[in-house]
Structure 1
Amino acid sequence: MLKCQKVFVLNVSIVSVYSLVTIDGVIGGSVLLPCASNKHEHNLQDIDVLWRYNASMNVFTILKGKGSVEHQEPKYKNKTEIFPDKFLKGIFSIQLNNLVYTDAGEYDCYIVHSGEHVKVWLLINVYSQVTVDGVVGRSVFLPCASHINEYKLQDVNVHWRYNASMHVYDILKGKGSVEHQEPRFKNKTEIFPYEFVRGIFSLQLNKLEHTDAEEYECYIVQSGEHMNVQLLINGE
């Protein structure tokens, strides 16, 4: 006897409608991961949205306007909430409950029917602060280390920022990137890739100027750690 099985295939075509946001959470708490479409009117039966962790792990799926946990990763069981009353307004945010360290990382919201993509960095508040002194014209070491001391290179995503927003340096999948680096930091930064697998993502800043002083922040995406480095500049 020939048996026929019905297979559902979802064709995903994401165009370059992209936004990025960083969210902070605390151990044991809850956090809202935002995802909203630029379009404000949607037909419920057309709504297909995929929430994924680190690009592939299934967090939650919305198919034809209805939530589905059929292929949800076990670690997210009973941890996710959606808000169906917001769908027609183009809001597909999810709430993540009972946060643990391993919930930190990159979450992607793919709004399939409109071709939009929202990336959310979730940082679990593991925070430290240090003050470093530098001298005009010389170099200084800005420390950043994870409490996790063993990493796979392809999992390493770290973002160095100046005064919370200015791009200083990015480490993406274990490789340094200056694609979005602020021009003032061009040829002034050094990293130490051989230390990455040990959870050390420190940065060396060269040719110091008085204007280099202020706050530097190191965001370790995978572990959700955040280090604040206050740089003081001495000398004329």
Structure 2
Amino acid sequence: MYRCLFICLLVPSIDAASLHQVVESTEGDSIILPCTHKRITHEGKPLTVHWRHNDTRNVYDIIHSRNSVKEQHPAYNSRAEVLDERLEKGHIELKLTNLQLSDTGTYLCFVPDARVEHSTQLLVKERKLPEYTAIQLRSHGTETTLGRTLHIIIPLSGLILHYL
């Protein structure tokens, strides 16, 4: 009898919808992390949403339908925002700008009233710099530039140097 009671009490608390997604981007870029579920409806009621990074860093909050950065971790200052355009339809998208390698990790969007948790695994890759080569040109034409060296850096991505 106690087993049935224990199971029956757990079922309502497990009702929360949980979704997971993996996205990749490059440092310096911007990305939009999704948080969407049919249970998330604004319908004129105050909306509360919490975005967290690795369960500890406060990225962004919406408290009673108002944006709140009061307790936001300093690493996200001026780099995180929730896009308002689709909030009415239950799309709570977090835009992160100027991605850093330290942004890699799990982002959790939690909507308490709808009992929705949506996690996104973000992998920020290091931006690879283009390969360069150095070319030395010596001027032999005029007295003022004689003996000076000009260093030109040209990306190896296909730029052609014409010498006349």
- TM bucket (normalised to shorter chain) is 0.5 to 0.7
> Any residues of structure 2 matched to 1:4-83 within 5 Å, and which?
15-39=15-39, 41-83=41-83
Shift of 1:14: 7.9
> Any residues of structure 2 matched to 1:155-170 within 5 Å, and which?
none
Q: State the TM-score, normalized to the length of structure 1.
A: 0.46
CA distance in 2, matches of 1:81, 1:48: 15
> Any residues of structure 2 matched to 1:74-223 within 5 Å, and which?
74-126=74-126
Where does the alignment leave 5 or more consecutive residues of structure 2 unmatched? 1-12, 128-164
Please tell me the root mean square deviation across aligned C-alpha atoms, in Å.
Answer: 2.0
Q: Give the count of matched residue pairs.
A: 115
Shift of 1:42: 2.0
What's the secondary structure of 1:46's corresponding residue? Answer: coil
Q: Which has the larger radius of gyration?
A: 2
- Bigger relative contact order (CA 8 A; separation at least 6): 2
Amino acid at match of 2:72: Q
Where does the alignment leave 5 or more consecutive residues of structure 1 unmatched? 1-12, 128-236
What's the secondary structure of 1:75's corresponding residue? Answer: helix
CA distance in 2, matches of 1:40, 1:58: 21
Question: Structure 1 residues 40, 109: closer, same or farther in 2, change over 3 A?
Answer: closer
Question: Structure 1 residues 14, 104: closer, same or farther in 2, change over 3 A?
Answer: farther
Q: Which residue of 1 aligns with 2:144?
A: none
CA distance in 2, matches of 1:40, 1:107: 18
CA distance in 2, matches of 1:90, 1:14: 21
CA distance in 2, matches of 1:72, 1:41: 24
Question: Structure 1 residues 93, 14: closer, same or farther in 2, change over 3 A?
Answer: farther
8 Å Cα contact 2:40-2:114 kept in structure 1: no
Amino acid at match of 1:66: R
Cα distance per residue 1:83-120 (max 9 Å; x no partner): 22311100111100001100110110001110000000
CA distance in 2, matches of 1:40, 1:47: 9
Shift of 1:66: 1.6
What's the secondary structure of 1:102's corresponding residue? Answer: helix
